[in-house]
Structure 1
Amino acid sequence: MTFTKEEQEKLEYSGYRFVGEYGHAAAKICHWTKKSMVNEGVCYKEQFYGVKSHRCLQMSPAVPFCSQKCSFCWRDLSQTRVEWEGEYDNPKTIIEGAIKAQNNLLCGFGGNKKTDEKKLEESKKPTNAAISLAGEPTLYPEIDELLAEFKRQNFTTFLVSNGMYWEKLGSLECEPSQLYISLDAPNEKVYKDLCNPQINNAWSNLNKTLELMNSFDTNTAIRITSVKGKNMINTKEYGELINKANPKYVEVKAYMFVGSSRKRLSLDNMPSFKEVCDFAEKIADETSREITKHSEISRVVLLE
C-alpha cells in the first residue's frame, strides 16, 4: 500500500475512496455533483464546456505522487511522494473501481426527496472523467492506456497536469478530450516561491510543455490559480507564456482558502470575484482574448 493506514484513513474521512490493490488511485464525489443531483446548481465546467456535473467522475490514478508542493494546494503535502514508488494497478481495474466507488457514494441520494430521479439513474453511468482529484496524473506509468480505456468506454476526459513531464505529454498516443496545464506564475521566481517544485529544471520543463500545447489536436486549456498577494502580478509575462502555448481556453480562477492550504496561506490570499475579473481582463488585453463566460460562485473566468 502506498499510503500508511493512517494517511489513507484521513483521506477516506474527507471523502476519498481508494480503488485497486495498490492504493494509489481514488475517486471522490465533487461538491457540484452533489449539488446537481438535487438541482441546486452545476459546476462551471458544465456552464463552460457542457460536461454534465451529475455524470462526472472525479478521480486520480496518482493521488500520493506530485513533483510540486504548491502553497495553495488543499492537501496535506507531508504525504506527497515526488517520484512513483511501487507496483500499480492497470487502467481497467482503476476505472471499474472508481465507477463502483462513485456509485456507492451516490447511493444515499436515493433516500433524499430532493433528488432528481433521472439524474440519479444517469449518474450510475458517468460519461466524463475529471482526472484531477489529487497528485500529478502523468506520473502514473500507464496514463496513455488509462486515457485510451476511458475512450473505449465512451468517456470524455479532462486531464489536469502541472506540465513537469513534457516528454510524456508529447508522446501520448491517446489525447484527452481536454488537456489542462497549470500556469500559476508569470516567471521562475514566483513559480519557485509559490509552487515549491521538488525536481530540477521544473520551470524549464513547464515551458517545454507550453511550447508543446499547440501541437495537440484536442482542446487545450491553461488554468491560472490566482493567489492574492502572490501571483496576480506581471500580466505581460503571463501574456507571453500564454501566447507561446496558444491554448484554446484560459481559465483564471481564484485560490480558495480550504483544507491544508490554510496552514500555509491566509484568508487575505483568496481574491474576490471582482479581483479575479480585473486580473483576467489584464491578461485578456495581453493575449488579444476576451472574457466569454464566468461563474461568480466559483470565482472563475473563461478567456477565449
Structure 2
Amino acid sequence: MKTSLNEGEIKALEKKGYRFAGKYKHAAAKVCHWTKKSLVDEGVCYKEKFYGIQSHRCLQMSPSIPFCHQKCSFCWRDTSITKTEWNEEFDDAKTVIDDCVEAQRNLLCGFFGNARVNKKKIKEAQDPKNAAISLAGEPMLYPDINELISEFNRRNFTTFLVTNGMTPEKLENLDDEPTQLYISLDAPNKTLYNEVCQPQINGGWELLNKSLELMKSFNSRTVIRTTCVKDLNMQLPEEYAKIITKTDPDFIEIKAYMFVGSSRDRLTFDNMPSNKEVLEFAESIAALCGRKVKDHAHESRVVLIE
C-alpha cells in the first residue's frame, strides 16, 4: 500500500509529536503548546482570548500534512516533503476524525499523572470540541474536505479552517461552512507574494484574490491572517489596507513570524518582529482601513483588528 509519506518522513514527524490517522498517513494530530499550558492553568491560546474557544478542548489537526501549493519562507514545517498535487488514495473523513481524536487522547494520557494538572480540564480534554484545521499542509487539497467539515459539524465541533486561498472553486462549493474561515494574506502585492510564499503553481496571486473576494459570501466568521516577517513583508500597509477594505472580513489578525522549526534554515532570528513592531504595523493597517485594534495577545505576538 502506497502512503503519502515514506517511513522515514513519518518517523521524523512522529518525533516532533505528530500522530498519524488512517492507513494512508496523510492526516495527523499534534497537541498544541497552548493546550498543554491550559491543562496546567498556565495560559491559553489567543484563539480562546479572541474568540472564546477552549484551548484544552482544541484538536489541532490536518487532513493533508504533506500537501500544499506553496513553500512559504516563514513556514516552520519541512517544506522539502511538500507535494502540490494529490494523486494518492485517501482515508474517509470519519476515519480521519476518529483517529485524530484518539491520537490526541493518547498524547495527553501522561497528564493524568501530573500533579499540577487541572482535573476538570483533563477530563474535558478527552472530548475535544474545536478543530483547528491548520496543523500542516493545505486542508483544501484533501479530496473529502467537504465531508470533513460536515462530519465535524455533526459531532458538534466548532471548526477553524485555515487556507492559503489557492482553491477558490472549492471554497465556493463547500456544502457546510466552517465556524471560522481564515485566509492567509502574507504579502500586499504579487511581487512580494511570489518572494514570500513561493507558490508552486501558476497564478497563485490571482487565485488568492479570488478566494478573498469570496469572503463576503460566507455566513461564517471570516478572518484575514497576515504572518509578519521583519524586513520582508512588513511594508506597504496601504496596499494591505486596500485588499482588506475590498474583501471586508470580520476580523484581521496581524501575527509575528516566530523563529522556530524549519524556518530557521531560511530566515534569521532578526526576521522575528517584536510585540511593539507587530502592534505598530497593525495599528497602521487598521487606521488605513477605518478599523480599530480590538485585542492583543502578547504571548503569541498577535493583534486582532475588527
Q: 2:295 aligned with 1:293, yes or no? A: yes
Alpha-carbon distance between aligned partners in 2 of 1:244 and 1:68, rounded to the nearest angstrom: 24
TM-score (norm 2): 0.99
1:23 to 25, 31, 35: 25
Unaligned runs of 5+ in 2: none
Question: What is the identity, as a one-letter code, of the residue corresponding to 1:156?
Answer: T
1:227 to 229, 236, 239: 229
Counterpart in the other structure of 2:8 = 6
* Per-residue deviation, 1:85: 2.4
* Per-residue deviation, 1:245: 1.3
1:143 to 138, 142, 145: 145
Give deviations 1:203-235, integer Å, cap 9, x for gaps: 000000111111100000000000000000001
SS in structure 1 at match of 2:28: strand
> Matched residue pairs, number?
304
Counterpart in the other structure of 1:82 = 84
Counterpart in the other structure of 1:177 = 179
Query: Over the residues paired in the alignment, what is the CA RMSD in angstroms?
Result: 0.5
Alpha-carbon distance between aligned partners in 2 of 1:274 and 1:196, rounded to the nearest angstrom: 28
* Per-residue deviation, 1:272: 0.1
Misfit runs of 4+, over 4 Å = none
Alpha-carbon distance between aligned partners in 1 of 2:209 and 2:44, rounded to the nearest angstrom: 33
Correspondence 1:61-210 to 2 at 5 A: 61-210=63-212
TM-score (norm 1): 1.00
Alpha-carbon distance between aligned partners in 2 of 1:97 and 1:245, rounded to the nearest angstrom: 36
SS in structure 1 at match of 2:31: coil
* Per-residue deviation, 1:182: 0.2
Counterpart in the other structure of 1:51 = 53
Alpha-carbon distance between aligned partners in 2 of 1:73 and 1:46, rounded to the nearest angstrom: 23
Give deviations 1:253-302, integer Å, cap 9, x for gaps: 00000001000000010000000000001100111110011111100000
Counterpart in the other structure of 1:275 = 277
* Per-residue deviation, 1:174: 0.3
SS in structure 2 at match of 1:297: helix
More displaced stretch, 237-246 vs 158-167: 237-246
Give deviations 1:96-130, integer Å, cap 9, x for gaps: 00000000000100000000000010000000000
Alpha-carbon distance between aligned partners in 2 of 1:142 and 1:6, rounded to the nearest angstrom: 26
Alpha-carbon distance between aligned partners in 2 of 1:110 and 1:246, rounded to the nearest angstrom: 45
Alpha-carbon distance between aligned partners in 2 of 1:165 and 1:245, rounded to the nearest angstrom: 17
Alpha-carbon distance between aligned partners in 2 of 1:100 and 1:173, rounded to the nearest angstrom: 26
